[in-house]
Chain A
Amino acid sequence: MASTKKSKNEKQSSSAETEWSKRALAEPVTVQYLMRTLQELQSEHEALKRELIKSRRIPSGRIGAALLIAGSSVLAGSVFASSATLAFIGLGLTFWGALFLFARPIKFVRSTLLDSTAIASYTTIDRMVQDLGYKAKAIYVPPYPEEAYLPQYLKGLKEMIVFIPAEDSSIMPTLEEMAKQQFLLKNQKGICITPPGFGLSSVIENELRARFPQIARALTIESLYDSLPRVITSNLELAKGFEIKPENELTHVRITGSVYSSLYSREQGLRSIHFLGCPLTSAIACALAKATGKLVTITKDNVSYDLQTIDVWYQTLEA
Chain B
Amino acid sequence: MNFPLSLWDISLWIAVTAIILLVTSELIGPYSDYFGDFVIEKTRLRLAALILGAAFMVTVILRAIMPY
Contact = CB atoms under 8 A, between A and B. Distances in A.
A83 B31 CA distance: 43
Contact of B13 (A79, A88, A103): A88
Interface in A61-100: 78-80, 82-84, 86-88, 91-92, 95, 99
Interface string A31-75: 000000000000000000000000000000000000000000000
Interface in B41-68: 41-45, 48
Given A99-B48, A233-B31, A106 B1 contact: no
Q: How large is the interface on A (under 10, 10 to 19, 20 to 34, 35 or more residues)?
A: 20 to 34
B33 to A, nearest CB: 8
Nearest to B38: A105
A105 B4 contact: no
Nearest to B3: A79
Nearest to A107: B39
A65 to B, nearest CB: 17
B48 A240 contact: no
Interface string A248-271: 000000000000000000000000
A86 B5 CA distance: 10
A219 B31 CA distance: 27
User: What secondary structure prevails in chain B residues at the interface with A?
Assistant: loop
A102 interface: yes
B48 A79 contact: no
A82 B6 CA distance: 12
A108 interface: yes
Nearest to A78: B4
Contacts of A79: 1-4
B48 A102 contact: yes
Interface in B2-45: 2-5, 9-10, 13, 17, 21, 29-31, 36, 39-45
B30 A233 contact: yes
15 contacts: A79-B1, A84-B4, A87-B4, A87-B5, A88-B9, A91-B10, A92-B13, A102-B41, A103-B40, A103-B42, A103-B45, A105-B40, A106-B40, A106-B41, A241-B31
Q: Which 3 A-B pairs have the closest CB atoms?
A: A103-B44, A103-B45, A84-B4
Interface of A: 78-80, 82-84, 86-88, 91-92, 95, 99, 102-106, 108, 233-235, 237, 240-241
